[in-house]
Chains A and B, each alone.
Chain A
């Protein structure tokens, strides 16, 4: 039942914000209250549950399962479950959601009630995606997340908002439909007769391999576009560019990577053999994403587009981990999902603050802000360092684990992916140099020392940086939670020919503590 509450709290907050729509302050207070409550509840669960699996079901180390009948005639039920991986994602969503509400706090949002309604609805749906273990329910939450995003970008976004929102919507919706068709196909042909994840694990082995491949591609379409994988990434960049300047929408709708979670949780465990057959292509796409994202980040002049390409580059590592599929790489992917989301969230908030203070967001017209805004500069520096994977920061842990996992499988791909580090060393300091160093291009009387971070903004950015440092120094606080889940998922997603093979030598033991 507590899982239902995790989904219900943001949605109740959304309804409260809508009810208070004639009172902008009340609406935002309701929104923040809901996200703080969500964060408290999720943290409490994290603290109290530990990580020992309680419910003996396949495909995860389940801590809690909740099931209620929904459409029995087609074998769909309201089935929620949580394991370490899902719990971390819910925590991340709550944290970023609270940041997202705070980032729009003083922005004088037009029609604030509807704005916060859509924002929280989207966050509730994201939590739903992380908890739903019924494929039909998953699709419902998947879509529920997209519609508010459309309206938020179209109505509150920049001048190109409607076009970018439509592009986002059509990309994600059509690919989502392919996922739905694949789910139906899997349920019908495997004879499982039910949409629940637990009973669908392993059934694809009974299907002819070409059918399993096509079904897997349906899922891959949805996840890859949402991630996004290079080639289908343009919607994300446009959406970030046109999203409302305060960054709230970037954070709650785009930064939390439900696609990455979907790849790990659903794609490979449901279609292990097909995913293994597809692995080379997947790895090529992943490495292409790492390098292309990095190069494109360097080529951008818009701060938000730059940040978008940085996340594309990071998501390349996640995709690589998915198509390497060993525990080490997957653990790295989990850290990377969290660190990339927090880092990107920080960068989008930073871009929003810079835009709000100077009215500009293009790098050519920015510079010298350090003189007037040293606090923003310092924290942005930390975020940029995190983006380029400096040791002692979370993304370093994630990337190094993914590379170590990849090394077990292929030296070539490891070497190519490591190239991402090189590129990030170019774009990250360059970003700081363009915005904060050099000659001031904005008059000192437009942006004065008083425009530096307010306490609220300082708290938000400092919280993001603090988590990044904490995870960089002591990643086990997250790795311990996700380890049993990731191990179970990894085993469920082993291709058939490896399932019965003896385990290889253990080179990196994640359980061992100094």
Chain B
């Protein structure tokens, strides 16, 4: 029986899901790109609006999915990312051949999956959300069936994601075997016993937790589980790559954050070392490997790996404000990453814009896009007056307060390495010798994308100068 309060509280998930169903129905009669995109947009906005309606305190399904402060925030963030992705995709696919309408169904389902994952408080919900997200992503990555790289990327993601799901399931099974429950609430009790237990009794739950971290770490693309990232980013359509870099990672991070709060697994020495290795390896590995890239999408892929490293730091420094730090950082990271992929997706359909050399002198052809890209890159690099700096600053506060010196030093040094390639990419945009792009373009930018990019840039700068405004909205 589905009672009324349950229905209300699930509205943020129901709206996008319903929009997907409506689109499938409509497509049987009318094929219209703009109509489909509009329905999807209405569904997503409905979901976003209904988050305001959901009261955090009286949530009846708390055992499965929690729309508490953090849950609401992550679902809102994911839906917002989906809206941005949708608007970019509209301009992107509009200018390409082929049937575009089904893409929106996949995007909506992926959003539902990511939201369910982010808000889950039960391992079954967690797995369900994860699979819904992954299966939609397989198809979204390989959506352009004429592109060889896209097919390759889709297949790679399919195989590796399926493998990581298997590991995650195995981990859940072991945890269930040890503690006899799948709900986070009960796991908490199990974890409390775990820390008191003998060494010999720790093996099974420890293996379970480790396998779960591996499964989620794959979604996060933390080093050494990042191998799929560059190929998938390069092969997928630019808006989809943006969606993978943001929504999909935020969902996995939300789960990790909730598990850290519930299980306190970062206090267990062996688990702590695993997380610490993941964080340090991601920071250094992501930034070092990004140095070698000549393809902008691959560069952004490694940059996102590095950012996951930064985001794991507040998990290790788990304290009352970790959720806040992660949330702020994610908002900043979302805005910058979506801007970068937005610029690529605006450019990509009209001319090949993949290699860094294709961006030579972009400023003299498309000044607005070059400036947007510069601000996004500076924010990712963590330069003051952008949101990225404030994010990094809060991470530093959290980790310095807990005296995690290894992490702090790694963070500082790897940011220095990171600067090198962000600056190189930014410099290319203004390089005085335009190779392929000669005279200034007279074609206006696609209106929707231009509007979204402007909004994102304003958000980046506003958060960098006046973070208090956003801080009040965060959990």
Contacts and interface: CB of A to CB of B under 8 A. Distances in A.
Nearest to A162: B427
Interface stretch (B66-74, B92-100, B281-289, B413-421): B413-421
Interface in A149-193: 150-151, 154-155, 162, 165-166, 169-170, 173-174, 177-178, 180-181, 184-185, 188
A173 B423 CA distance: 12
A151 B374 CA distance: 12
Interface in B431-451: 431-432
Interface stretch (B169-177, B272-280, B396-404): B396-404
B412 A73 contact: no
B384 A139 contact: yes
A116 B424 CA distance: 22
A144 B393 CA distance: 16
B383 A73 contact: no
Contact of A181 (B385, B408, B431, B466): B408
Contacts of A139: 384
B288 to A, nearest CB: 14
Contacts of B383: 143, 147
User: What band does the interface of chain A fall in when counting residues whose beta carbon is under 8 Å from B?
Assistant: 20 to 34
B430 interface: yes
A151 B422 CA distance: 13
A140 to B, nearest CB: 4
Contacts of A162: 427
Contact of B396 (A140, A150, A169, A181): A181
B416 A177 contact: yes
B contacts with A: majority SS: helix
Given A155-B427, A178-B412, A180-B393, A73 B420 contact: no
Interface in A129-144: 136, 139-140, 143-144
Contact of A147 (B378, B412, B424): B378
A446 interface: no
A256 to B, nearest CB: 19
A39 to B, nearest CB: 26
B423 A188 contact: no
Contacts of A180: 393, 396
A506 interface: no
Contacts of B384: 139-140, 143-144
A56 interface: no
B56 interface: no
Nearest to B394: A74
Given A144-B384, A151-B430, A178-B412, A169 B419 contact: yes
A184 B419 contact: no
Contacts of A136: 393
B468 A72 contact: yes
A143 B432 CA distance: 25
B63 interface: no
Interface in B456-475: 466-468, 471
A188 B401 contact: yes
A283 B466 CA distance: 41
A1 interface: no
A71 interface: yes
A180 B432 CA distance: 34
A177 B397 contact: no
Contacts of B427: 151, 154-155, 162
Contacts of B378: 147
Interface of A: 70-74, 110, 136, 139-140, 143-144, 147, 150-151, 154-155, 162, 165-166, 169-170, 173-174, 177-178, 180-181, 184-185, 188
Given A73-B468, A181-B408, A184-B400, 13 more contacts: A70-B466, A71-B467, A136-B393, A140-B385, A143-B389, A165-B423, A166-B423, A177-B415, A180-B396, A184-B393, A184-B401, A185-B400, A188-B400
The 3 closest A-B pairs by CB, nearest first: A174-B416, A140-B384, A143-B384
